[in-house]
A and B are shown apart, each in its own frame.
Chain A
Amino acid sequence: MIRKSFLSLLGMCLAGTASAEWALNMPRGITELSLETYNLHMMVFWWCVAIGVIVFGVMIVSLVKHRKSKGVEPAKFTHSMTAEVIWTAVPVVILLIMAIPTAETMVKLEDSRDPDLSIVVTGYQWKWHYKYQDSGVEFFSSLARPSVEARRKLSGINPYDVENYLLDVDNPVVVPRGSKVRMLFTSNDVIHSWWVPDLAIKKDAIPGIVNESWFRATETGTYRGQCAELCGKDHGYMPIVVEVVEPDAYQAWVDTRRDDASRVATAQ
């Protein structure tokens, strides 16, 4: 009991700092699956801590006690069938315990059936293009202006003076809260990878291939990510911003976008 509460306290410390600063641990994210992913991550982490405490503990005891300077006589044993069977079998059992919940989450991650909304994401060197399949809204999304200026070599602009330095875009992706959003990924040139940690989605955008992933956001807010596959010189400068809004706000956004698009069309 004491051990358990100690562990959960430690866990809370880790998680606490993570949510405050987004700096120490994986975010829990805003989807059911991002939370499951976080829980899997923490499960393996604590298993590793437990195994580490035992293995390193034995090793440290040995390092302290079994030294020549203490005048010990070295033992003569060279093997032990019992010990070896135990430390082969026990890890197998631990791995099975880890594998079962992991497999369950993997099945859910792949289940992109019956989406409410589909967005085609196309990677370009070095920006993203989004197309909403249902409403026809489409746009490019590139690094926001203030970051573009500050990022130049010896630009003289302090990155701390730029809001969301390198993590802001001109046109964010807007999605409704509570809807199942299916993302389809492809690329126009080289391989990119679309990653938003809070959605627990990282999927490669590959030329000639359409990849799929999905999420259902449970909280509104702005969530940021970056390209995660080296794609050339400006790989570090193609961020992703996803805005999760209430469904009616989303509808309003789609309508404005449509109006803008038709105005441009009429003007032409």
Chain B
Amino acid sequence: MSSTVADALDHHDEHGPAKGIGRWLFSTNHKDIGTMYLVFSLAMFLIGGLMALVIRSELAVPGLQFVHPEVFNQMTTMHALIMVFGAVMPAFVGLANWMIPLMIGAPDMALPRMNNWSFWILPVAFGILLSTLLMPGGAPASGWTMYPPLVLQTGDAFPFLIFSVHLMGLSSIMGAINVIVTIINMRAPDMSLLKMPMFVWTWLITAYLLIAVMPVLAGAVTMLLTDQFFGTSFFLAAGGGDPVMFQHIFWFFGHPEVYIMILPAFGVVSEIIPTFSRKHLFGHDSMVYAASSIAFLSFIVWAHHMFTVGMPLTGQMFFMFATMLIAVPTGVKVFNWVATMWRGAMTFETPMLFSLAFVFLFTIGGFSGLMLAIAPADIQYHDTYFVVAHFHYVLVPGSIFAIMAGAYYWLPKWTGHMYSERLGKLHFWSSTIFVNVTFFPMHFLGLAGMPRRIPDYSTQFTDFNTIASIGAFGFGLSQLIFVWVLVSAWKGQKATDRVWEGSHGLEWTLPSPAPYHSWDTPPKARIANEAFE
């Protein structure tokens, strides 16, 4: 009996990837699907980045030079939708697909066919979304927040926008279910929940957030659809509806969404900083509790996006205090990273550099977040470039730097080759310098009174806008270095199994590149880790 099982396993071991395009179209392999997610998100990152460059070109000097205001609004809207749903979220799902099974000792994701489906929905969704650029009336131009009544003035693109958002949500929900089922059921037998690596933990929490809020977004946009086409008036004042209700529902999704984009980033840097400090993560358990608290609080702070819509005083106070509370667990995370570095033996390879920049610059975004929590001050900051600076600080040198860090960190495990450290460092320094040149001046613009989402501005805003535009082009070009790093890594030096001197965890016990099928028999997590001591 046991020998037949062993035979079956052996047989399974032998079959490698299918040949040709079928390998990718019909793939149920977590590594292939992870790769597709990552490549897709890189493509979306570059497309969304081009739109950002259209925006920054128009804003480089006062006056209207390149695009009409309606096109400008389409660019801001599409840039946000593509970056949020097309670049950042799929990149983290890609990392989850690749790394969670390797880190917990599982042979694959729990639901491999659904995994295939949840990826392949995305190119369709974004194909639809991008096609709206060519439709009569143009692409959606109401901002990614899709506030009614303005969004109902969208042209032919409107139903396509709703449909593509539905598809993205569907994909995210399926991805999240897969992550949860995998983590709960397929861990190595001796890996208890609190022994899981931080990246796995933050993804588990993120997946619950996704399941909780994506249906809410789906509900909100469906109500928009019926308001537009089926005579309902959920959000139309003339029919007894309430436009503000949409904002409440949207931000009930939207605020957890913000943490969906940052919690896995916390996980990535919590893997990298200990490796290059040659120490264990400081306060692993308190990091778990902090991430869980952040996730819980994310459900009760949504109306801090709405301090100017007119809310009762008690409501404002509640949302302000709850928002300020988020600073506590977020602070714990930052302090724990610093404590992890403290008295370590640090080296500064590219993944570590990106993680360190993450800690510095995400914290700056956290500071402006705390400022935004102060309701009376928020009334001045709201809908200005100060907010644009804030969320770009937490999303670009926050989420995206963490994704970059993760890509550099795990690339040798994925490909079996080392990337060029020289090019990686060049990419890091140019990205870090230009990201600050782009977004730091935006704080000043906002405080000085420049609203966001405007295609042209009064002349006193010129200097900082010009600086930001120069930075944006610098940042955009820097990302081409990243593409070159990836391409040139195929010819890079062979990677060892452990890759990094200080790395810990099951994924580093596998060969590099990780075999097409790994962990057919569950490993002993404890023994694997002790091997590294």
The yes or no answer to B156 lying at the interface (CB within 8 A) is no
Q: Which of A88, A98, A232 contacts B153 (CB 8 A)?
A: A232
* Docked-complex contact B149 and A84, CB < 8 angstroms: no
Q: Does more than half of chain B's interface fall in helix, strand or loop, or is it mixed?
A: helix
Residue on A nearest B339 in the bound complex, by CB: A83
* Docked-complex contact A233 and B345, CB < 8 angstroms: no
Roughly how many angstroms separate A155 CA and B238 CA in the complex, as a whole number? Answer: 39
Tell me the residues in window 71-110 of chain A with beta carbons closer than 8 Å to chain B beta carbons: 72-80, 83-84, 87-88, 91-92, 95, 98-99, 102-103, 105-107, 109-110
Q: Which of B147, B317, B452, B458 contacts A191 (CB 8 A)?
A: B147
Roughly how many angstroms separate A227 CA and B449 CA in the complex, as a whole number? Answer: 11
A-side contacts of B455, CB under 8 Å? 236
The yes or no answer to A11 lying at the interface (CB within 8 A) is no
Instruction: Categorize the interface residue count of chain A.
Output: 35 or more
Q: Does more than half of chain A's interface fall in helix, strand or loop, or is it mixed?
A: mixed
* Docked-complex contact B360 and A56, CB < 8 angstroms: yes
* Docked-complex contact B64 and A154, CB < 8 angstroms: yes
Roughly how many angstroms separate A107 CA and B316 CA in the complex, as a whole number? Answer: 10
* Docked-complex contact A189 and B313, CB < 8 angstroms: no
- A52 and B363 contact, Cβ closer than 8 Å, known pairs A37-B376, A106-B376, A206-B244: yes
* Docked-complex contact B374 and A44, CB < 8 angstroms: yes
Most buried by A among B371, B375, B449: B449
* Docked-complex contact B344 and A36, CB < 8 angstroms: no
B-side contacts of A40, CB under 8 Å? 374, 376-377
The yes or no answer to A146 lying at the interface (CB within 8 A) is no
Residue on B nearest A36 in the bound complex, by CB: B376
- A159 and B63 contact, Cβ closer than 8 Å, known pairs A190-B149, A204-B310, A233-B69: yes
- A87 and B335 contact, Cβ closer than 8 Å, known pairs A102-B376, A226-B454: yes
* Docked-complex contact A75 and B344, CB < 8 angstroms: yes
* Docked-complex contact A55 and B335, CB < 8 angstroms: yes
- A66 and B376 contact, Cβ closer than 8 Å, known pairs A230-B150, A236-B454: no
Chain A 148-180: CB-based contact to B (< 8 A → 1; otherwise 0): 001111110111100011110000000000000
- A78 and B380 contact, Cβ closer than 8 Å, known pairs A58-B342, A235-B453: no
* Docked-complex contact A66 and B382, CB < 8 angstroms: no
A-side contacts of B244, CB under 8 Å? 206, 209
Roughly how many angstroms separate A251 CA and B218 CA in the complex, as a whole number? Answer: 54
A-side contacts of B325, CB under 8 Å? 95
Roughly how many angstroms separate A45 CA and B204 CA in the complex, as a whole number? Answer: 34
Q: Which of B149, B320, B380 contacts A102 (CB 8 A)?
A: B320
Tell me the residues in window 192-244 of chain A with beta carbons closer than 8 Å to chain B beta carbons: 193, 195, 197, 200-204, 206-209, 211-212, 225-237
Roughly how many angstroms separate A40 CA and B320 CA in the complex, as a whole number? Answer: 14
Stretch at the interface among A24-32, A114-122, A134-142, A260-268: A24-32
Roughly how many angstroms separate A41 CA and B379 CA in the complex, as a whole number? Answer: 11
B-side contacts of A7, CB under 8 Å? none
Chain A 7-33: CB-based contact to B (< 8 A → 1; otherwise 0): 000000000001001111111000001
The yes or no answer to B143 lying at the interface (CB within 8 A) is yes
Chain B 66-92: CB-based contact to A (< 8 A → 1; otherwise 0): 011110010000000000000000000
Most buried by B among A48, A158, A200, A227: A48
Stretch at the interface among B27-35, B206-214, B273-281, B404-412: B273-281
A-side contacts of B284, CB under 8 Å? 78-79
* Docked-complex contact A95 and B327, CB < 8 angstroms: yes
* Docked-complex contact A22 and B327, CB < 8 angstroms: no
A-side contacts of B67, CB under 8 Å? 153
- A235 and B376 contact, Cβ closer than 8 Å, known pairs A98-B324, A208-B243, A228-B382: no
Most buried by A among B316, B336, B447: B447
* Docked-complex contact A27 and B343, CB < 8 angstroms: no
Report the minimum CB–CB distance from A16 to chain B (whole Å). Answer: 14
Report the minimum CB–CB distance from B422 to chain A (whole Å). Answer: 18
CB pairs A–B below 8 angstroms (6 shown): A47-B370, A63-B341, A84-B286, A153-B68, A190-B153, A226-B449
Of all A-B residue pairs in the complex, the 4 with the closest CB atoms, nearest first, are: A208-B237, A236-B454, A75-B343, A48-B367
